């Protein structure tokens, strides 16, 4: 056979009648492939970094315009710096790459001056062009956070015109009409529609960080048909990525680890404590925990709730549990009919209030989650925003609940169609749902069928409002209550309850225009009060975050937003293992 293929080498071996030799050939070939791939897949031991941590899975994207996952945002704070940045302990906005801002009398004009010593990681001086590049790209190619820019004059109109399907409308998109004005290389003037108290917090958010256009240019692809640009995302891989923050991206091995090293060109390089930081990618909660136990990593940013509950009971000193930045709740379909056309009894506010007021949430946090969560009757966790007067919500009152249900026309639950509650499998949602449905059956006589399904299917049904009651949650993005309240505007894509309330929308609009910060928070609280009372959602508990931190790490703030500035972290010398 071999001869017929025309192969002449090693004829004696192949013609040999020794079966043992022939048999050994198979493992020999396997061994060759093995050694080859072992060498190819990379090996070798590296020097241990100053700080090694696990941030859950791998980084999703380092493109500032597409970034939305918490783990990406955390890393963004290491690599970039905005006009303003966050104070390492209080997370309040403080000047970053810009000098302290000049705000006009009417609080609508912000003039930023970039620090003269601010540079990119390749030595180029930092100019306002970098900021304008990101902001403009977000409006032209809007992603999840495009809405954050709509407080800027002309921004929303520009975004809609540029993205219109109608060519005539597209040609009217005029960048000079947008309130982002370059005065000179280092001076940027921003014109806001209304006084926006939290605008400085926004400039400290990754969507507002600068992009180094020159290095991205090589990766730009223009679609000839539409004229729209796309960036090949290898511009975000080392060594191509140019950033302006305390660290630069040294290495990114997919689903293995990301290594960042101190940026020598950072204007405040002297303040950077840790020079080399590794982020290890690990998805399995047990494997993560074992890596911490064995000393391989110094900090876990996510601890499985079962493990955390166990450690909490044991009072483990390395475990830090603190208030999170979101709420776990049940979303109720408020539309007049269900997706199949049948009338929706849950559209009646009394039915929803009955469900909300008959639910005792304590068993959920005491027996299911067990990591120090507090039950909540409000949509927004009451303590996470400074000076926010939380309005309170519907508290447990079973007699009143039964009364409301009877007033709605369903005394003792009679007359209600069979209701379904959907949730995604794979977490504790099923357990929580069982507690809730059991209570609703016992107290109100309402039959609820539980339907678990896989995540993508669940998300689709929630987004298309093809459900009756669904498990849901919301985590805030930035340090202002509007990150919660905007979700339930009647026009918002995130309003998956289909709840429409003109008084609520009006209050949100009023808050948008209110220049006085305290009055504005009160208006938002009033709006939240309406939402809590009309119960398109039933809040259950507020999330907590659990970290496992080695005692040698200092200066890590335990702030609800669970953000931190890596350059302020210090390692106490000695036991680094």
Partner 1 sequence: MTKFIAIRLLQFPLILAIIYLVTFLLAWVAPGSPFELSDRSLDPLAKQRLEREFHADSAVSFLAYYPLKILTQGDFGPSLVQKGWSVNKILFTAVPISVTLGMLALAIALAGGVAIGTLAAVKRGGVFDALSLSIGLVGVSLPSFVVAGLLLVVFCVFFKWFPIGGWGTLGHMVLPSVALSLLPMAYIARLTRVSMLDTLGADYVRTARAKGSSRQTVIWKHCLRNAFLPVLSYLGPAAAATLTGSFVVEKVFNIPGLGQHLVNSVLNRDQTMILATVMIYSVFLLAFNLLVDVAYAWVDPRIDVTAKV
Stretch that binds partner 1, among 270-278, 311-319, 471-479, 529-537 (CB under 8 A): 471-479
Binding mask 335-364 for partner 1 (x = CB under 8 A): ------------------------------
**Smallest gap from residue 396 Cβ to partner 1 (A):** 26
Rounded Cα gap, residues 234 and 251, in angstroms: 13
- Which of helix, strand or coil describes residue 414? coil
Comparison of 208 and 292: residue with beta carbon closer to partner 1: 292
Stretch that binds partner 1, among 179-187, 227-235, 308-316, 500-508 (CB under 8 A): 227-235
**Sole binder of partner 1 in the list 56, 63, 109, 505 (CB under 8 A):** 63
Binding mask 143-182 for partner 1 (x = CB under 8 A): xx-x----------------x-------------------
Binders of partner 1 in range 484-543 (CB under 8 A): 493-494, 496
Binders of partner 1 in range 6-45 (CB under 8 A): 19-20, 22-23, 26-27, 30-31, 33-34, 37-38, 40-45
Q: Are the beta carbons of 95 and 84 closer than 8 angstroms?
A: yes
Rounded Cα gap, residues 11 and 9, in angstroms: 6
From residue 215, alpha-carbon distances to 39, 77, 106, 122, 184 in Å are: 32, 20, 38, 10, 22
Helix (H) or strand (E) holding 524: helix 517-534
Binding mask 287-316 for partner 1 (x = CB under 8 A): x--xx-xx-x--------------------
**Smallest gap from residue 108 Cβ to partner 1 (A):** 27
Comparison of 446 and 508: residue with beta carbon closer to partner 1: 508
By CB under 8 A, the count of residues binding partner 1 is: 73
**Sole binder of partner 1 in the list 99, 133, 276, 281 (CB under 8 A):** 281
Q: 72: which residues sit within 8 A by CB, 6+ positions away?
A: 59, 60, 61, 62, 206
- Which residues does residue 472 pair with via DSSP β-bridges, in sequence order? 329
- Report residue 232 as tokens: 């090949």
Comparison of 237 and 370: residue with beta carbon closer to partner 1: 237
Q: Three-class SS string for 418-468?
A: CEEEEEECCCCHHHHHHHHHHHHHHHHCCCEEEEEECHHHHHHHHHCCCCC
Bridge pairing between strands 229-231 and 220-222? antiparallel
- Report residue 572 as tokens: 């106490």
**Smallest gap from residue 313 Cβ to partner 1 (A):** 21
Comparison of 71 and 353: residue with beta carbon closer to partner 1: 71
Neighbours of 303 (CB within 10 A): 26
Binders of partner 1 in range 90-149 (CB under 8 A): 141-144, 146
**Smallest gap from residue 35 Cβ to partner 1 (A):** 9
**Sole binder of partner 1 in the list 52, 127, 201, 236 (CB under 8 A):** 236
**Smallest gap from residue 479 Cβ to partner 1 (A):** 18
253 sits near partner 1 (criterion: CB under 8 A): yes
**Sole binder of partner 1 in the list 269, 286, 517, 518 (CB under 8 A):** 286
Rounded Cα gap, residues 222 and 199, in angstroms: 33
Stretch that binds partner 1, among 64-72, 206-214, 377-385, 437-445 (CB under 8 A): 64-72
Please name which of 119, 137, 272, 111 lies closest in space to residue 203, comparing C-alpha atoms. Answer: 111
DSSP state letter for 481: T
Please name which of 479, 473, 326, 478 lies closest in space to residue 388, comparing C-alpha atoms. Answer: 479
**Smallest gap from residue 60 Cβ to partner 1 (A):** 6
Comparison of 103 and 281: residue with beta carbon closer to partner 1: 281
**Smallest gap from residue 463 Cβ to partner 1 (A):** 5
Q: Are the beta carbons of 495 and 487 closer than 8 angstroms?
A: yes
Stretch that binds partner 1, among 60-68, 198-206, 545-553, 563-571 (CB under 8 A): 60-68
The residue with tokens 């997706």 is 339
Bridge pairing between strands 102-103 and 419-424? unpaired
Rounded Cα gap, residues 284 and 139, in angstroms: 37
Comparison of 434 and 492: residue with beta carbon closer to partner 1: 492
Stretch that binds partner 1, among 127-135, 431-439, 441-449, 453-461 (CB under 8 A): 453-461
- Degrees, nearest 5: CA angle 244-121-201: 5
237 sits near partner 1 (criterion: CB under 8 A): yes
- Report residue 284 as tokens: 């399995």
**Smallest gap from residue 62 Cβ to partner 1 (A):** 6
Question: Please, where are the H alpha helices in 124-187?
Answer: 128-140, 155-162, 167-170
**Smallest gap from residue 468 Cβ to partner 1 (A):** 18
Burial class (CB in 10 A: 0-12, 13-18, 19+), 15: exposed
**Sole binder of partner 1 in the list 104, 171, 256, 271 (CB under 8 A):** 256
C-alpha 163: how far from its chain's center? 25
Binders of partner 1 in range 390-449 (CB under 8 A): none
Comparison of 107 and 237: residue with beta carbon closer to partner 1: 237
Comparison of 453 and 510: residue with beta carbon closer to partner 1: 453
Comparison of 160 and 572: residue with beta carbon closer to partner 1: 160
Rounded Cα gap, residues 377 and 462, in angstroms: 22
């Amino acid at each position: 056979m071999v001869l017929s293929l025309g192969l002449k080498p090693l004829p004696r071996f192949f013609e040999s009648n020794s079966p043992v030799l022939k048999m050994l050939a198979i493992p020999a070939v396997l061994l060759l492939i093995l050694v080859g791939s072992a060498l190819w897949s990379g090996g070798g031991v590296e020097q241990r970094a100053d700080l090694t941590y696990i941030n859950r899975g791998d980084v999703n994207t380092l493109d500032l315009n597409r970034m939305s996952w918490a783990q990406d945002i955390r890393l963004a704070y290491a690599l970039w710096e905005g006009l303003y940045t966050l104070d390492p302990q209080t997370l309040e906005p403080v000047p970053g790459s810009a000098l302290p801002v000049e705000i006009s009398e009417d609080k609508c004009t912000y003039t930023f001056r970039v620090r003269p010593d601010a540079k990119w990681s390749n030595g180029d001086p930092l100019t306002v062009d970098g900021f304008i590049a990101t902001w403009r790209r977000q409006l032209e190619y809007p992603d999840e956070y495009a809405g954050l820019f709509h407080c800027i004059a002309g921004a929303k109109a520009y975004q809609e015109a540029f993205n219109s399907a109608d060519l005539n409308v597209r040609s009217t998109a005029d960048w000079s009409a947008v309130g982002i004005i370059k005065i000179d290389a280092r001076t940027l003037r921003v014109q806001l529609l209304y006084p926006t108290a939290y605008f400085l917090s926004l400039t400290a958010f990754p969507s507002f960080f600068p992009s180094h256009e020159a290095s991205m240019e090589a990766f730009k692809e223009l679609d000839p048909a539409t004229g729209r640009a796309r960036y090949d995302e290898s511009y975000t891989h080392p060594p191509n990525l140019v950033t302006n923050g305390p660290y630069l991206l040294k290495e990114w091995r997919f689903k293995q680890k990301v290594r960042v090293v101190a940026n020598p060109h950072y204007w405040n390089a002297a303040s950077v404590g840790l020079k080399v930081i590794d982020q290890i990618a690990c998805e399995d909660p047990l494997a993560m925990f074992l890596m911490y136990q064995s000393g391989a990593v110094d900090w876990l940013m996510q601890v499985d709730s079962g493990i955390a509950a166990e450690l909490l009971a044991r009072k483990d000193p390395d475990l830090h549990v603190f208030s999170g930045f979101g709420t776990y709740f049940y979303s109720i379909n408020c539309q007049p009919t269900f997706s199949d056309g049948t009338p929706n009894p849950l559209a009646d506010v009394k039915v929803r209030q009955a469900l909300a007021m008959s639910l005792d949430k304590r068993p959920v946090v005491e027996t299911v989650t067990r990591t120090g969560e507090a039950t909540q009757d409000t949509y927004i966790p009451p303590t996470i925003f400074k000076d926010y007067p939380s309005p309170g919500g519907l508290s447990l009152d079973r007699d009143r609940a039964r009364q409301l249900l009877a007033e709605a026309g369903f005394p003792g639950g009679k007359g209600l169609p069979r209701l379904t509650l959907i949730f995604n499998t794979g977490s504790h949602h099923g357990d929580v749902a069982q507690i809730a449905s059991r209570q609703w059956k016992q107290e109100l006589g309402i039959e609820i069928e539980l339907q678990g399904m896989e995540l993508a299917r669940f998300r689709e049904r929630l987004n298309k409002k093809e459900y009756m009651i669904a498990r849901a949650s919301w985590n805030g993005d930035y340090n202002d209550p509007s990150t919660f309240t905007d979700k339930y505007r009647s026009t918002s894509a995130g309003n998956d309850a289909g709840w429409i309330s003109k008084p609520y929308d009006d209050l949100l609009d009023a808050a948008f225009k209110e220049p006085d910060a305290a009055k504005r928070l009160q208006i938002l609280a009033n709006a939240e009060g309406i939402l809590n009372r009309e119960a398109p959602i039933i809040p259950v508990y507020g999330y907590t975050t659990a970290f496992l931190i080695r005692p040698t790490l200092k200066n890590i703030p335990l702030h609800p937003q669970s953000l931190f500035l890596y350059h302020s972290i210090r390692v106490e010398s000695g036991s680094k293992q």
